[in-house]
Amino acid sequence: MLLREVEYARPTSVQDAVRLLSEHDGARALAGGQTLINVMKARAASPDVLIDLQDLEELKGIDLAPDGTLGLGAMVTYSEVMASAEARARPILGEVCAQIADVQVRNRGTIGGNVCSNDPTNHLPPLMVALGATMHIAGSSGERAVPAEEFFLGVYLTAAGPGELLTKISVPPGKSDGFAAVAIGKDGTCIVNAAASVNGSARIAIGCVDAVPVLLRADPAEDDAVRSAVRAASLDPPSDVHASADYRRHLAEIVAVRAVAQARGKH
Ligand SMILES: Cc1cc2nc3c(=O)[nH]c(=O)nc-3n(C[C@H](O)[C@H](O)[C@H](O)COP(=O)(O)OP(=O)(O)OC[C@H]3O[C@@H](n4cnc5c(N)ncnc54)[C@H](O)[C@@H]3O)c2cc1C
């Protein structure tokens, strides 16, 4: 289906991009276009102006600080994460990016677009919450940093509001991480997913069961403690053609245990 007519701008600085986003009420940032162009084709979104982020060098690149903190530019693609020597400092990032859709989507889709679209079935929102990442947001009044667990506000809604851009994601050092999902077919949309990071206790973030990832903490040494933590969260997931709410609650326990087992190095 053809797109509705839309204005297009391709700024070369974050400052100009933020100015353009603030000047036009109907403006939307365009990253890899793997979600946005599809929803525009389906007429589910109809922006007046697309602000293409492709030429923003400040949003590209992956750097590893001496203290082990990874800086991932918002416009870094999944394929770039998978190929990056620096990103291997936190190997789960490349492992999870490799599970997203297919090679075409991985070559175009960006980590910034993934978290900013905050589709509850996406892979990266629970991962970023479990890893304790920090999201860097630029707006007309300057920059701010938001912890991942406060970034996701609702379905398709994040702390990067109108007129703002996610510029970078910082991921603290660590290696004891895991991710598990039950998807619709191989590499398909997740029915339930869970990410875990173990550093003393386990930080577990469950996806697809609520509008935003559900963050839990549990003793990683005992599978029963992980299951109990999931049960104690009283999850209220949706029912749809792929899974009932009860089945999703059941899967949430299973993927949480698997993610923690991988994080402990026991998978
Ligand atoms: C066939 C198919 C299967 C897929 N399967 C999966 C899957 O299994 N798991 C998964 O996680 N994803 C999946 N996706 C989605 C894919 O990962 C998208 O790449 C991702 O959701 C959006 O990234 P993008 O770079 O394409 O962003 P775009 O589509 O360009 O943008 C998405 C949204 O984020 C906003 N945005 C983008 N970047 C920024 C920024 N820096 N600051 C502020 N706002 C921004 C845009 O304005 C837009 O609202 C799939 C997509 C397709 C086409």
* Six-digit token string for 4: 């509705």
Task: Return the pLDDT at 267.
Answer: 59
**Mean pLDDT of each 10-residue bin along the chain, 267 residues long:** 86 98 95 96 92 98 98 98 97 97 97 97 98 98 97 97 97 96 88 96 97 97 97 97 97 98 86
Per-residue CA distances from 201 to 196, 231, 237, 263 (Å): 10, 17, 25, 11
What separation in Å is there between the alpha carbon of 74 and the centre of ligand 1? 11
What separation in Å is there between the alpha carbon of 30 and the centre of ligand 1? 9
Task: Return the pLDDT at 220.
Answer: 93
Task: Return the pLDDT at 186.
Answer: 74
What separation in Å is there between the alpha carbon of 32 and the centre of ligand 1? 7
Task: Return the pLDDT at 266.
Answer: 67
What separation in Å is there between the alpha carbon of 148 and the centre of ligand 1? 17
Task: Return the pLDDT at 188.
Answer: 85
Task: Return the pLDDT at 1.
Answer: 60
Q: What angle do CA 206, 211, 212 make, to 5 degrees?
A: 50
Ligand 1 lining (C-beta closer than 6 Å): 28-36, 38, 53, 74, 100-101, 105, 109-110, 112-114, 116-117, 119, 122-124, 160, 165-166, 189
* Nearest atom in ligand 1 to 110's CA: 25
* Nearest atom in ligand 1 to 36's CA: 29
Task: Return the pLDDT at 240.
Answer: 94
Residue nearest to atom 46 of ligand 1 (CA): 29
* Nearest atom in ligand 1 to 116's CA: 34
Residue nearest to atom 12 of ligand 1 (CA): 122
Among 105, 108, 124, 143, say which to mutate for ligand 1: greatest number of ligand atoms within 8 Å of CB. 105
What's the pTM value of the predicted model, to 2 decimals?
Answer: 0.97
